[in-house]
Amino acid sequence: MTLESDLERYCVETAIASREASRKLAQTSTALKNRWLQECAKQLPQKLDEILAANALDLEAAPGFGLSESATDRLRLDRPRVQAMADAVRDIAALPDPIGETIEGSVRPNGLEIRKVRVPLGSVFFIYESRPNVTVDAAAICVKSGNAVILRGGKEAWHSSDALVRVLSSAAQEVGLPTGAVQLVSTTDRAAVGHFLALSDYIDVAIPRGGKGLIERVVREAAMPVLKHYDGNCHVYIDSHADQEMALRIVVNSKCQRMGVCNACESLLVHRQIANEFLPRVGTALIEKGIELRGDSDTCNLLPLAVAATEQDFYTEFLGPQISIKVVSSITEAIEHVNRYGSHHTDAIVTQDLRYAQAFTLGVDSSAVMVNASTRFNDGGEFGFGAEIGISTDKFHARGPCGLKELTTYKYLVYGNGQIRN
Amino acid sequence: MTLESDLERYCVETAIASREASRKLAQTSTALKNRWLQECAKQLPQKLDEILAANALDLEAAPGFGLSESATDRLRLDRPRVQAMADAVRDIAALPDPIGETIEGSVRPNGLEIRKVRVPLGSVFFIYESRPNVTVDAAAICVKSGNAVILRGGKEAWHSSDALVRVLSSAAQEVGLPTGAVQLVSTTDRAAVGHFLALSDYIDVAIPRGGKGLIERVVREAAMPVLKHYDGNCHVYIDSHADQEMALRIVVNSKCQRMGVCNACESLLVHRQIANEFLPRVGTALIEKGIELRGDSDTCNLLPLAVAATEQDFYTEFLGPQISIKVVSSITEAIEHVNRYGSHHTDAIVTQDLRYAQAFTLGVDSSAVMVNASTRFNDGGEFGFGAEIGISTDKFHARGPCGLKELTTYKYLVYGNGQIRN
C-alpha cells in the first residue's frame, strides 16, 4: 500500500489498531467488558471538570459553526447530563452479552456437532452527528457487543468527544481492555472519512448517522457494508373497521408526540367508508395541534381546511407540522400506496377486524408494521433492546432498531472426531 | 428516470416486474410455492426434447467461446441430468418453508405484542457461471424462500437456460404463480449487468457467483447489497496434542478429496513439537497424491522434498495440487497466521486437547472453524441445509453456506389495542 499523505497514514494506522483490538475483544469475557463499562460510569462524573472545560471550547466555537440555539443546547454538557451518560453506560453493563450465544445447533448423521454461534462483527466505523452523549453511548454499545469502534463525531462537538473518549480510554487502561477498542478520529478533516471508507480489510461495517447527504456519501464510497438509516415516511391507515376513538388517538400521537423523528407519522390513509365521518374529526384534532393538512381531492372535498397535496407530498418525510392525507377504497389500495410511497420504515393499521390486520401486516414491506398502536413505538427502547445504535431502513443484515445483537454476526463451530468427506 | 437506450428500458421493466412479483410472492402460501416446484419437476422431463435442442445450440457454439473440453462437458445436458434437476427441485419442495417463522417475540409492559417474523428479501439479481443446472436450482431456492429472481447466466449456456426458464414459467402459469417470479435476462450484453446493478429501488440483493473479476465488478457497481463468495484460503493446523493418524487423514482429505473448490485446504500449519515426526509422514502422503509442497524454512529443513515457499504462497488459494506449509511455535502463532493470511472461510485444528480446541475456535475469525474434521464439510448439504445458493465469505447478513434461510430478512409485527407513546 502506498500512503499518499500523513492523513492517509494516520487513518490506516488507526484502522489497523482497531482490527487488532477487535481480535482481542472477540475473546474478551463478559466480566471484563462489564468492568470497563462500570469503570467508565465511575470515572465520567469524577472527571466532570475536564469534560466541562472541553465542552466550553465547543460552546465557544458554536456560533462560528453557525449552530442554532437548539443545536447549541443539545451540545451543552452539565453535571446532570454527564451523570445521565454514566447511568446509560451502567444500563448497558446490565444488559445480557449477546456474544457466545448458540443460535442453533445440530448433530449430523456422521456425528459432526455443528453449532451456529454469535460473534462480534469486528471493527465498526461510526460517523455521527454532534451530540456528545452519542460518543459514549456508541462506544459502550460497540464494546459490549465485542466490537472495536472508530468514532468520527461532528466537528462541532470535537473537544467534548475527545475529553469523553479520554475517560473511556483511561478506564480501559485501568481494567486491561485493549487500547484501540475505542478510538476517536483525531482530525476533523473530511478527507479522513474517505480514507477510512476504503479500508475494508480492517473495518467490517460503516454506520453513518446524520443527514441524507452524509449517508449517501458513505453508501457511495464505502468498500465495506453499511448499516444505514434513511428516512421514515411512515403511514397510519384507518380501516373501515376501526374504532374511531382509538384511530384518533393513534393518529395524533403518531404525528404529534415528537415531530422531528423517523418514526413519526407523515401520511394518513382513510378508508372511503368512514372518511366522511372520520376525516373532519381527525382534521380538527390535527389542526388544533398546528398541523397543516395536505389532502388528495377526496380529502379536500370532505375537509375544507385541507390544501391540495402534490404527488411529491406523498413521498415526503416532513419531520415537521405537515401531514399528507389520502382516501382509499380498499385495503389493497392502502397496502400498494404504502409500499410505493413509503420508505419501508414503520406503518400502522387501525382496525378491529383481524383479517384486515393480517392482510396489512403481510402485505406491507416495512421494518415494523403496527396494528392498533402508534408508529412511535418502533424504537429499540420500546422494543426492550435496552440500547440502540440506530434504526436500520435496510433489509440486509439488520432491519429496524439496532441494538447489541444487530452488531453481531455468527460463525459455525464444527466438532468432530476425525470425520473426512467421501 | 431518463432511459438512455432500449437496453436500459428493458432492464428497468424487468426489474419492476421482479419487484411486483416479489410483493405477491411474499404473500404466497407454502402450498402454492410447493405446487409450482412439483409442477416444474413434472414438466422438466416432459420437455426433454426442447431442452436438449436448445442445449445442442450451446454445445455447437462452445468452441467459438473457447470452452475447454471439461467446461463443454459441464454444459452438456442429457436425460439423466435433466432428471437430476427435477429431483433437486423435488428435494427443495420437501424442505421446510422459512417464511413466516417467528424468530422471537415478547409482550412489553404496556401490553404491546412484538413478534420478529421471517420474510423474504424481495427481488434477487443472480449472476452466475454457465452450468445450466444452476439456473433451475437458483430459481427453485429463490422462489421457495419467497423471492423473485432475475437470472443472468453465462452466455455459453444461454439457449439451455432460456429453454429451462420457459419450462419454469409454463409451470408458473399452470399453478398461478406470478409471472415475473423467475426471469432470465434475455440479452447477453454485458452492459445489462451494469444497468441492473443500479436499480436498487427494485432489486434487494445481488448475488454474483463466478470468477473474482466478476465479483469485484459487482461489488464496485452494485447500488444494492451484495452477497458474495470470494476465495477460500483454508488452513489445517496440527496441534502438538493431535492424534497423528487422524491428522494425516484430515489433511489428505481436506487437500485432495476435491481440489478446485473453496473449502479445500490450501495451507498446513504444524506445531514445532511434532513437526519432525509428523511432517515427513504428511509430506510423503501428499506427494503420493501428486501435491507440490511449498514450505517455510523449518519445513524445508525437515522435508527435503518441499520447495521454499514465498510469502505470497501463504496468501494463495491454489485450487490445485499445491500446498503451503509452515511450522509454528504456539497456538497463538497459528491463530494469528490464519487470521492474517487466510480468507476467513474454513479453518481446522486437529487436537485432542479441549483447551486448544476452544482457543482456536474462539480466536479464528472464519465462517466455519472445524475441530478434528475435514475443511470439506463447510457446505450447505453437509450442514443439513438441503440446498445452497453459495457460501458467503462476508460477515454481513449471512456467513458461510447460504440456503433458504439466508435469502430472508425479518420484520417486526406489533399488535396493540390502542397504545400511544408518552
Evaluate whether residue A389 is within a structural domain: no
* 3 state SS for chain A: CCCCCHHHHHHHHHHHHHHHHHHHHCCCCHHHHHHHHHHHHHHHHHCHHHHHHHHHHHHHHHHHHCCCHHHHHHHCCCHHHHHHHHHHHHHHHHCCCCCCCEEEEEECCCCCEEEEEEEECCEEEEECCCCHHHHHHHHHHHHHCCCEEEEECCHHHHHHHHHHHHHHHHHHHHHCCCCCCEEECCCCCCHHHHHHHHCCCCCCEEEECCCHHHHHHHHHHCCCCECCCCCCCEEEEECCCCCHHHHHHHHHHHHHCCCCCCCCEEEEEEEHHHHHHHHHHHHHHHHHCCCEEEECHHHHHHCCCCEECCHHHHHCCCCCCEEEEEEECCHHHHHHHHHHHCCCCEEEEECCCHHHHHHHHHHCCCCEEEEEECHHHCCCCCCCCCCCCEEECCCCCCCEEECCHHHEEEEEEEEEEEECCC
Distance from CA of A365 to the nearest CA of B (A): 8
What is the reported pLDDT for B188? 87
* End-to-end alpha carbon distance in chain B: 42
Answer yes or no: do B60 and B207 share one domain.
Answer: yes
> Per-residue pLDDT for A110 more than 90?
yes
ipTM value, please give it.
0.94
CA distances from A195 to A7, A218, A222, A256, B293 (A): 8, 11, 9, 41, 39
- For residue A367, list chain B residues with Cβ-Cβ distance below 8 A: 411-412
C-alpha cell at A101: 450465544
Side-chain-side CA neighbours of B343 within 13 Å: the count stands at 24
What is the reported pLDDT for A234? 98
Q: What domain range includes position A284?
A: 234-377
What is the reported pLDDT for B2? 60
Answer yes or no: do A159 and A31 share one domain.
Answer: yes
The angle at the Cα of B277, spanning B276 to B282, to the nearest 5 degrees, equals 100
Please compute Rg for chain A using Cα positions.
24
- For residue B254, list chain A residues with Cβ-Cβ distance below 8 A: 420
The DSSP call for residue B126 is E
3-class SS at B285?
helix
The angle at the Cα of B206, spanning B124 to A121, to the nearest 5 degrees, equals 115
Name the residue with cell 392482510.
Answer: A359
pLDDT, mean of residues A240-256: 98
What type of residue is A245?
Answer: E
Residue B417: which H helix or E strand, with range?
A: strand B408-419
Evaluate whether residue A205 is within a structural domain: yes
Which residue from B249, B384, B415 is facing A372, i.e. has the nearest CB?
A: B415
Which residue from A254, A365, A378 is facing B26, i.e. has the nearest CB?
A: A365
Answer yes or no: do B244 and B362 share one domain.
Answer: yes
pLDDT, mean of residues B302-323: 96
> Per-residue pLDDT for A123 more than 80?
yes
Answer yes or no: do A221 and A247 share one domain.
Answer: no
The answer to whether residues A152 and A191 touch, using CB atoms and an 8 Å cutoff, is no
Tens of pLDDT, residues B11-52: 999 999 999 999 999 999 999 999 999 999 999 999 999 999
CATH number of B79's domain: 3.40.605.10
Name the residue with cell 432428471.
Answer: B83
The answer to whether residues B32 and B175 touch, using CB atoms and an 8 Å cutoff, is yes
Q: CB under 8 Å, gap of 24 or more: what pairs does B70-79 form?
A: B71/B130, B71/B156, B74/B130, B74/B131, B75/B130, B75/B131, B75/B132, B75/B156, B75/B157, B75/B160, B77/B51, B77/B52, B77/B132, B77/B160, B78/B52, B79/B45, B79/B48
Tens of pLDDT, residues A13-30: 999 999 999 999 999 999
C-alpha B17/C-alpha B183 separation (Å) is: 9
C-alpha A374/C-alpha B137 separation (Å) is: 43
- For residue B422, list chain A residues with Cβ-Cβ distance below 8 A: 257
Residue of A409, A410, A417 best to disrupt the B interface, most CBs of B under 10 A: A409
- For residue B419, list chain A residues with Cβ-Cβ distance below 8 A: 372-374, 377
> Per-residue pLDDT for B275 more than 70?
yes
pLDDT greater at residue B291 or residue A228: B291
Residue B410: which H helix or E strand, with range?
A: strand B408-419
User: Given pLDDT bands bounded at 50, 70 and 90, which one contains residue A390?
Assistant: confident
Task: Count the neighbouring beta carbons within 10 Å of the beta carbon of residue A64.
Answer: 8
Answer yes or no: do B195 and B274 share one domain.
Answer: no
CATH number of B296's domain: 3.40.309.10
8 Å CB contact of B416 and A108: no
8 Å CB contact of B372 and A416: yes
Name the residue with cell 448475488.
Answer: B207
> Per-residue pLDDT for B1 more than 70?
no
**B400 Cβ contact partners less than 8 Å away, ≥ 6 residues apart:** A411, A412, B367, B368, B378, B383, B391, B392
Evaluate whether residue A391 is within a structural domain: no
Side-chain-side CA neighbours of B71 within 13 Å: the count stands at 14
Distance of CA B422 to the CA centre of its chain: 47
Percent of chain B beyond pLDDT 70? 99
C-alpha A263/C-alpha A322 separation (Å) is: 14
The answer to whether residues B238 and B269 touch, using CB atoms and an 8 Å cutoff, is yes
Tens of pLDDT, residues B85-106: 999 999 999 999 999 999 999 9
User: Given pLDDT bands bounded at 50, 70 and 90, which one contains residue B3?
Assistant: low
C-alpha B42/C-alpha A360 separation (Å) is: 35
- For residue B382, list chain A residues with Cβ-Cβ distance below 8 A: 108, 112, 421
Burial B185-210 (b: 16+ CB within 10 A, else e): beeeeeebbbbbbbbeebbbbbbbbe
Distance from CA of B288 to the nearest CA of A (A): 18
* End-to-end alpha carbon distance in chain A: 42
Tens of pLDDT, residues A27-37: 999 999 999 99
What is the model's pTM?
A: 0.93
What mean pLDDT is reported for chain B? 95
Which residue from A377, A397, A412 is facing B419, i.e. has the nearest CB?
A: A377
Name the residue with cell 440483493.
Answer: B205
Strand B148-152, strand B182-184: pairing: parallel
> Per-residue pLDDT for A2 more than 70?
no
Answer yes or no: do A245 and A312 share one domain.
Answer: yes
Answer yes or no: do B372 and B408 share one domain.
Answer: no
Closest-CA residue of A relative to B245 is A418
What is the reported pLDDT for A387? 85
Tens of pLDDT, residues A266-312: 999 999 999 999 999 999 999 999 999 999 999 999 999 999 999 99
Handedness of CA A256, A260, A263, A265 (dihedral sign): positive
C-alpha B390/C-alpha B367 separation (Å) is: 13
Residue of B30, B197, B421 best to disrupt the A interface, most CBs of A under 10 A: B421
In sequence order, the β-bridge partners of residue B307 are B294
What is the reported pLDDT for A212? 84
C-alpha cell at A390: 440506530
In sequence order, the β-bridge partners of residue A307 are A294
Answer yes or no: do A208 and A254 share one domain.
Answer: no
Residue of B243, B265, B341, B365 best to disrupt the A interface, most CBs of A under 10 A: B365
**Domains of chain B: total:** 2
Answer yes or no: do A248 and A284 share one domain.
Answer: yes
The angle at the Cα of B224, spanning B218 to B227, to the nearest 5 degrees, equals 60
Which residue from B204, B396, B422 is facing A409, i.e. has the nearest CB?
A: B396
Answer yes or no: do B76 and B192 share one domain.
Answer: yes
| Residue of A308, A203, A323 whose CA lies nearest to A259 | A323
Strand B408-419, strand B322-328: pairing: unpaired
What is the reported pLDDT for B81? 96
Cα torsion through A105, A106, A110, A113, rounded to 10: 40
Which residue from A246, A372, A416 is facing B371, i.e. has the nearest CB?
A: A416
A·B CB contacts under 8 A: 189
The answer to whether residues A247 and A282 touch, using CB atoms and an 8 Å cutoff, is yes
Residue of B395, B406, B408 best to disrupt the A interface, most CBs of A under 10 A: B395
Strand B205-208, strand B265-271: pairing: unpaired
Tens of pLDDT, residues A148-194: 999 999 999 999 999 999 999 999 999 999 989 999 999 988 899 99
Evaluate whether residue A30 is within a structural domain: yes
Strand A390-392, strand A400-402: pairing: antiparallel
B24 φψ region: left (φ > 0), alpha (ψ -120 to 50), beta (else): alpha
Distance of CA A400 to the CA centre of its chain: 8
8 Å CB contact of A363 and B114: no
Answer yes or no: do A148 and A57 share one domain.
Answer: yes
In sequence order, the β-bridge partners of residue B371 are A415, B349
What is the reported pLDDT for A386? 87
Answer yes or no: do A220 and A250 share one domain.
Answer: no
* 3 state SS for B68-83: CHHHHHHHCCCHHHHH
What is the reported pLDDT for B129? 81
Which residue from A377, A384, A415 is facing B372, i.e. has the nearest CB?
A: A415
The answer to whether residues A415 and B373 touch, using CB atoms and an 8 Å cutoff, is yes
Task: List the single range of A117-126, A185-194, B235-244 with lowest mean pLDDT.
Answer: A185-194
3-class SS at B414?
strand
C-alpha cell at B256: 485432495
The answer to whether residues A149 and A68 touch, using CB atoms and an 8 Å cutoff, is no
What type of residue is A216?
Answer: E
